[in-house]
Chains A and B, each alone.
Chain A
């Protein structure tokens, strides 16, 4: 067909791709919802982190109050305590807000690192092929074989719990799938004529990798990453549930679900609300990812 029309695709440049897709995505109801949720969490996280750094309390009540600052215990949700209070009289809403930067950002950090490492290694493997491909993929396989939970527990045992150590554990186990994905996409790209044209233009392999391959596989990687962030949040909540995450009294969504488990029958809001927050966060990312996927026409 000799016409100039075609499906919307990623435009030149990663940043441009993002803004372009955001614009197109706002046509879709689900994407708008997803985008709104993610933005809401993001803004909350940034605000809360800033407050923490500046040592300012902006939540209605302190997240870790001293006994004399605490309110009455086990209050159900009300106007003054929208999410109620827990067994120590702490305002649940404030605790959730304070936990937001950690729980939310860990998704970004882990997936971001995974995309960077996996993207470059996989892209290189697909482009060069041969021995380099073999070597890189076997190296990837080693890390692929490590089970998330086991590594988390090992790291927890050696280095102790806490969000930094858990991030490391997750990063170690998360990047291999991106390497595989990047390699698959890179293989498709490597056979395109413009790569050969780049060779004919005197471009060296590493420049071809960064100028041609990486930009063209980043679309698919972006989609996967967005859908994945929700998963990381979920996994991390699981880890905190097991006690590997932030040590109490620092608030943490997963840890809250674990701790308030015992009151499920009498004061259900305590465990359900943090769980809901996690779910909404994951759903937000999933919707966002789907929206990006549809916009980019990536399968």
Chain B
């Protein structure tokens, strides 16, 4: 459904060009729940933004490769086509709902806006149905629209939807806002939902509720979900497939159970060893030594090599490519051949 081939993105910064993504090969299939896992700076957010065509236009450029949705190269879409693509094919939710929801409009109005957009895309002659021209003025929703909004709110399990419609974002808790955002995202009935760290700012129990909701959406509506997260444990609880990223590259890509029972890439193994489990024993956790590399430099070696406990001579000369290391299991490491 979503396919990346040799996809590279670079950002122009004061320090030079930062290679945020480098030759990424990835396929996301329909109805899959994929978790994109990595620490800060690995490029997962850039990948998420690229999927919805939201790369910052002035500083980001696609250095090579392509990202295509159902066979269509996203970079070749006209602004109009992109407008249609965004929202109705792919929708995105972000980490901090306070900054994604308009603080000056009521929840009901924002969801209604998304619903109207959906209707307009199917039938471009539909007017915007009495939405106030002055932002901030109250929009009295016509009853059929109101009913649709309530349906969406019930879908995301917001209690008492009839009252929430009239609330402003600041009146809701973090979990509820996140759910309102999901409702907005789903209003256009997208096939793919990209979620960028949606639960990082939430409490543990709220996080569980939101993640459960996302799993339900996948199961009931057949929506494909791409969850971007730094938390492997979260990925293990909800995802079908896990894609591990490091320094702008995909280093491992496998079924979730495979990743946990049979991690192939040393970075994945390192990440797993870092997770505090159980109570401390005499050994302690084994952290990954070193720090992430400078992404402005040209790459002629494995990015993980300086920190890798299994580094070989070839690792400092060439950059490994993703290859099959098991059934439906790919890793980019010279340990498994050249």
Contacts and interface: CB of A to CB of B under 8 A. Distances in A.
Interface of A: 1-3, 5
Contacts, number: 11
Nearest to A5: B15
Contacts of A5: 15
A25 to B, nearest CB: 16
Contacts of B39: 2
Contacts of B291: 2-3
Interface in B33-74: 39-41
Main secondary structure of the interface of B (DSSP, over half): loop
The 8 closest A-B pairs by CB, nearest first: A1-B40, A1-B41, A2-B291, A3-B291, A2-B40, A2-B292, A3-B292, A3-B41
B194 to A, nearest CB: 22
11 contacts: A1-B40, A1-B41, A2-B39, A2-B40, A2-B41, A2-B291, A2-B292, A3-B41, A3-B291, A3-B292, A5-B15
A3 B39 CA distance: 12
Contacts of B292: 2-3
Main secondary structure of the interface of A (DSSP, over half): loop
What class of interface size applies to chain B in its complex with A?
under 10
Contacts of A2: 39-41, 291-292
Nearest to B41: A1
Interface string B275-309: 00000000000000001100000000000000000
Contacts of B15: 5
A296 B104 CA distance: 34
A2 B288 CA distance: 13
B177 to A, nearest CB: 25
Nearest to A4: B291
Contacts of A3: 41, 291-292
Interface in B1-41: 15, 39-41
A5 B293 CA distance: 12
Contacts of B40: 1-2
Nearest to B291: A2
A2 B15 CA distance: 17
B251 to A, nearest CB: 18
B11 to A, nearest CB: 14
A171 B330 CA distance: 72
A2 B291 CA distance: 8
A5 B41 CA distance: 13
Given A1-B41, A2-B40, A2-B292, 8 more contacts: A1-B40, A2-B39, A2-B41, A2-B291, A3-B41, A3-B291, A3-B292, A5-B15
Contacts of A1: 40-41
A76 to B, nearest CB: 50
A259 B11 CA distance: 59
Contacts of B41: 1-3
Interface string B201-238: 00000000000000000000000000000000000000
Nearest to A7: B14
